[in-house]
Structure formats: C-alpha cells, structure tokens
A and B are shown apart, each in its own frame.
Chain A
C-alpha cells in the first residue's frame, strides 16, 4: 500500500507535483494550492492511502521535487 500525505497549508503553488504526478495532484483554482486527489483531511494533513503501487514512483518524484518538502510518500 502507498500512503501519501500533503501538508497543504504550506504549499506555495509552484505546480511541480502536478507536472510529475498529474494523476494524484491538481492545482486548485480557488486558492492556487495543490490538491491531493481523493485524500482525507486531518488537521491540514491530507492523506491518501492507495493499494495501487504503481503510483509510488511518480508521487515519490513529486515529493522530491517539492521545494517546501510537504509531500511524504511511503510504501507499507
């Protein structure tokens, strides 16, 4: 299982995560910050648990590219 977390309030809206993992991230037109699709919000930490392991690589790239390091990707 892959667990992805986005600490959304710190996002500076640079769009890199969307470029690298377009199936998981989308920019919100409302506040210009990244949205982790299908995630659940817990006090500003948006988490997505997925059984689809193929998403790991792209999300991992996004996590490495994020300049404010607010995306974490774990495989468990």
Chain B
C-alpha cells in the first residue's frame, strides 16, 4: 500500500504552521477573493505567497492554491495574475474548477488539481481531465467501492496526467459536509443574494427549519429540525478501507477553523496513516483518536457516503459538539531563549498549575501543553490572574503578542 498524502487546510499563518508542525504532507489555501472561502477575513494575500512557499518547502510539504469559484469575464486577468504569482513563488499546484483557470495554469506549465465542484463520478471523466490535471478529487457522493473501481481503472488503463505519472485520486477525509451537490449550492444566493459558488456561502442550511403545508397550515413534526445540516465527515475509523480504495490524497476540511483544530485533526490523521503503514492500526487507537477529534469543532460524526449509505445523517444542533473550548487569557510578552521560559501578560481570566494551555501565533502555530510550573510576578504561585505577569517553562519558542488560552471542558447538550 502506498503512503497516503495528508492534505491540511490553511486559512492563515497560524493554521499553516499548525499543519506543518503536526505532520501534513501538503496544504491548501486561498488568496484574495477567488476561492470558496472568499468571505472569510482570514485569506492570504498575494504578497504572502513567497512566505507560504518558503515555510512549506523547508518541510518538504506541497502547496496548493485554491482557485475554485465560478469565474466571470472580469476575473480573467486576476486569475492570470494569481497563477503567475503562484508560479513565481513556486507553489506546487492550482486547484481549479473553471476551464479558464485550468487553461491558464496549463499555459504557464503549472500542475492542476481538479476540485470537487467538477463532480467526477466515472473513469471516462477522469480520462478527459487527465489531459490537463494530475490529481482529481472525486465527487463526495461516491462509495469506496465506486472509488476503488476508478483507481483500479487508472492503474489498468495507465491513465496519466501531464506530468507523465498516473493520475492521483483525492477524497475528503474529515470535516464539514453540506447537503449541496459537491460544493455547488444556490441556497445562500436565493435567500441572501450571496453566492456560495463565489465563495460567499452563508451556511443557512445549518439552521432549524419547519416544514409547513401551505394548504392546511399544518406544521410537520420533525424529530430533528436541522434537516439540512449534515453531521461532519469522519473517516479515521474506516481509514483502512479508505486506503484500500486506492486513493492517494486525503483531504481535511476546515480553512475557516482555528489553528488548534488544524493541529489536532492533522495530528490524529497523521498518526492513523502512519499506523496503517506500520500495521499498528487498531480499534483501541481509533477510540482514542475519536476522543481527540471530539474535542474540537464538530457537528457530530458520520462516515459520509463511503460505505454506501445514501441518506444523510443530520446534525442535532446549529453549533459545535466539541467537548472542549478555549478561553482567552492573555498575550505573549517575551521568550527567554537560554532558559526556555515564556513570559505572558494575563489580560482576562486566570491560569493555574495543572491547566492545559494553548498558545497560538502566525509563527508559533498552535501549541498545547500542561502547566506544571510557573512564576507569577516572579513569585512561585499556583494561580495567575488578570494583570499578572507569568513565566512558564516551555519546550517551544513563543513570540510577543502570541495569544494564550486555557482549554476547558465544553458542556455539550445531549
């Protein structure tokens, strides 16, 4: 079995660093407006490309630029600019759905990956896009059996991309699913004029809805009102079967998620992929990975369509079912390199010995640890409160204005 590439979301430098620190093989990210998270304020800018490329190259991590919205005429020149800049910065590939983007990328010799919005569901379509692309995401609604048929055909018929290598198949491994056809949806557009296909999804399927019979006014009784909000996809418990299907890339969703989300999910899947590789993947490990994954944002988990299930499983609420949450405590002030001690200023709440803390920052990523020792205003105390300066021994470096959080239990509604 060939090693699966673990692909991580990077919405900003914090998440990028978290992905790098926790074992991602590749990252995907958006720049400016033409990507599926155009609304987010956390997108990178064109000027960030060289830094993204540099940090990833140092760790031998591949970089994919998402350019996967619908494209209008007035976008064509920015598409070219983005692709040229990406090429200049030596970004590995462009993730595309529009033919104009595919053509522009091929023109300058950039590797192309076909995004899920193209909805590839059969091997003839794989053959067609193999003229332009080396990696393809299959439609989300395929079962693993169907995926396997496609990967076997690629092997048997030697379907190769422009690079001369066999086409690689990518699937979603973990994260939010929506009820739309593989990323194409008109719901936000119809209700709020905000096109998901331009990266402006308002997530209004995540709400409660009631079904009313217009003639009688009768309200349908639904035992779960979140009828359009599927649970999150999770494949860590079926990763052996996913790997068996012959896929090469496992994509983790979540460019809008916090860095600690990226850190934890990537860490679990890294561990799971490595366990498959060295034959130590087992039920006990799955249980502990699931517990870890439940700690961060999720709407409840299911296996998606991979095992042939056709009807969705719906989420029980609008928000997260995460078992943990973070509480803001303060900011980083200084790092004493020799002594390996971090100094923090507490702005809110308090921190005690025994607490699990999280430190995030653009270069620090997302680092979690337990506090075993600390000084509060240069005194050995067990609790630091608002206004205090605390120093904590750390085995990683922090930077001024990194954010300090405390991880606490999150009461989840049953």
Contact = CB atoms under 8 A, between A and B. Distances in A.
Interface residues of B, number: 23
Which applies to chain A's interface (DSSP): helix, strand, loop or mixed? loop
A32 B193 contact: no
Which applies to chain B's interface (DSSP): helix, strand, loop or mixed? loop
A12 B193 contact: no
A70 to B, nearest CB: 11
Contacts of A10: 41
Contacts of A12: 33, 38-39, 198-200
B197 to A, nearest CB: 10
A22 interface: no
Interface in A36-54: none
Interface in A1-41: 10-16, 27-33
Given A12-B33, A31-B78, A68 B193 contact: no
Given A12-B33, A68-B200, A29 B192 contact: no
B72 A67 contact: no
B74 A32 contact: yes
A12 B199 CA distance: 8
B11 to A, nearest CB: 16
Contacts of B41: 10
B33 A33 contact: yes
A16 B195 CA distance: 10
Given A12-B199, A15-B72, A67 B77 contact: no
Given A13-B75, A67-B192, A32 B198 contact: no
Nearest to B69: A12
- Of A28, A29, A31, A67, most buried by chain B (CB within 10 Å of CB) is A67
Contacts of B182: none
B34 interface: yes
Contacts of A28: 74
A17 to B, nearest CB: 11
A31 B72 CA distance: 12
A10 B38 CA distance: 9
A28 to B, nearest CB: 7
20 contacts: A12-B38, A12-B39, A12-B199, A12-B200, A13-B78, A14-B195, A14-B200, A27-B74, A28-B74, A30-B78, A31-B32, A31-B78, A32-B33, A32-B75, A32-B77, A32-B79, A67-B39, A67-B195, A67-B200, A68-B194
Closest 7 CB pairs of A and B: A67-B194, A27-B74, A32-B78, A32-B75, A12-B38, A12-B33, A67-B200
